[in-house]
């Protein structure tokens, strides 16, 4: 299961390079994510196949890790406008707050949510709906 790691970085040249080097030396690959500066601090969210290993490597090097969270992974249909709004609306209607959203290196949507169990139910329903639509399109020859 993939995990999101929330990381604090200094807002200065080389902070991201140092983080990447530490992970590389530990043999840990980044699978997706991004970094933003918010109120003078670097806030990073990166996707890992083993978030705890990434956390350990970073913390041993003195880099603060805010959280390690399981994520929901979805593939949106890029040829259908409104997909992000639709899945976000379904999460909202289930009273699930999306806290972090980004894409991985395989163009999949990565979501960190406040209630993983509820979010997983929405995500699984979304996947069933997508699979049914794909079967319909295939059967209809569209």
- Judge if 66 and 88 occupy the same domain: no
Collect all residues with Cβ–Cβ distance below 8 Å to 27 and sequence separation of at least 6. none
Where residue 26 sits, what CATH number does that domain have? 3.30.2130.10
Domains identified in the chain, total number: 2
- Judge if 40 and 79 occupy the same domain: no
Kindly report the number of other CB atoms within 10 A of residue 39's CB atom.
6
Q: What is the pLDDT of residues 81-127, one digit of tens each?
A: 999 999 999 999 999 999 999 999 999 999 999 999 999 999 999 88
With bands split at pLDDT 50, 70 and 90, how would you rate the model's confidence at 139?
low
Q: What is the pTM of this model?
A: 0.87
């Amino acid at each position: 299961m993939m995990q999101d790691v929330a990381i604090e970085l200094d807002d200065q040249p080389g902070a991201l390079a140092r983080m990447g080097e530490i992970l590389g030396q530990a043999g840990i690959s980044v699978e997706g994510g991004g970094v933003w500066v918010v109120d003078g601090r670097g806030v990073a969210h990166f996707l890992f196949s083993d978030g705890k290993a990434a956390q350990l490597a970073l913390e041993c090097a003195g880099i603060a890790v805010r959280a390690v969270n399981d994520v929901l992974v979805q593939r949106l249909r890029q040829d259908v406008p409104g997909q992000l709004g639709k899945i976000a609306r379904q999460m909202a209607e289930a009273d699930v707050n999306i806290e972090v959203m980004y894409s991985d290196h395989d163009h999949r949507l990565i979501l960190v949510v406040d209630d993983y169990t509820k979010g997983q139910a929405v995500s699984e329903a979304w996947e069933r709906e997508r699979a049914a639509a794909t079967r319909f399109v295939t059967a209809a020859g569209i």
